[in-house]
């Protein structure tokens, strides 16, 4: 038997991560102190290239795996247990929180549809960068990491507005859907494509 869990774009509050759109408590409402033209600009590649500071500060507060940071929930651990039992085909998540990895879902069994914090690259020339150095700069030193190649700002492998989804999603999704015995959808409005179309 093969299972294919899908996690939504709106993370549950129990992880310690606010959702994006809830009035008053959602992430977009909590970004006013950054003086962004629009809250979504914190995840816009063009805005980041010109002003990376708000996103760098945001990462200092939200980078997965840091002490006191977001932690896997029972549903994350359940996916890890499915993997341990050998019945997990793949987890597709729109979340960038990395909690599936922290719960033990292996990299072959995970598709982070909107990227994540496990890699880094230059926002200008797209040169791969050391993710540890990116984390150190953003979380510890509160600085904008820069590219050794061109001097542009480096960012974690999160897919920003204006960037393409990782090729891994398109490469695997059709075969996974056809091969799974059970598709488990956990807490979503099914409003954000392409994952909503699975």
User: How far is CA 73 from each of CA 13, 68, 130, rounded to the nearest angstrom?
Assistant: 10, 14, 28
Distance between CA 19 and CA 12 in Å, rounded?
7
Which of 6, 33, 114, 178 is flagged as catalytic?
114
In 19-104, alpha helices (H): 45-50, 53-62, 74-84, 99-102
Q: SS3 letters for 118-144?
A: EEEEECCCCCEECHHHHHHHHHHCCCC
Contact predicate 142/184, CB 8 Å:
no
Tokens of 35: 């003086």
114 is catalytic: yes
Which residues carry out catalysis?
114
């Amino acid at each position: 038997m093969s299972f294919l869990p899908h996690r939504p774009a709106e993370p549950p509050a129990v992880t310690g991560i606010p959702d994006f759109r809830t009035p008053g408590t959602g992430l977009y409402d909590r970004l006013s102190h950054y003086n962004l033209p629009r809250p979504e600009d914190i995840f816009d590649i063009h805005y980041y290239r010109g002003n990376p500071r708000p996103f760098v500060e945001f990462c200092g507060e939200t980078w997965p795996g840091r002490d006191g940071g977001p932690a896997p929930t029972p549903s994350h651990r359940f996916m890890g247990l499915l993997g341990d039992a050998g019945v997990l085909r793949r987890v597709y998540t729109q979340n960038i929180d990395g909690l599936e990895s922290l719960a033990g879902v292996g990299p072959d069994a995970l598709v982070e549809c909107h990227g994540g914090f496990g890699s880094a690259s230059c926002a200008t020339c797209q040169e791969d960068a050391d993710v540890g150095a990116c984390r150190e700069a953003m979380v510890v030193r509160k600085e904008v990491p820069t590219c050794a190649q061109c001097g542009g700002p480096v960012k974690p492998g999160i897919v920003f507005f204006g960037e393409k989804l990782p090729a891994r999603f398109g490469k695997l999704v059709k075969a996974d859907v056809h091969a799974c015995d059970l598709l488990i959808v956990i807490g979503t409005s099914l409003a954000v494509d392409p994952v909503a179309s699975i």
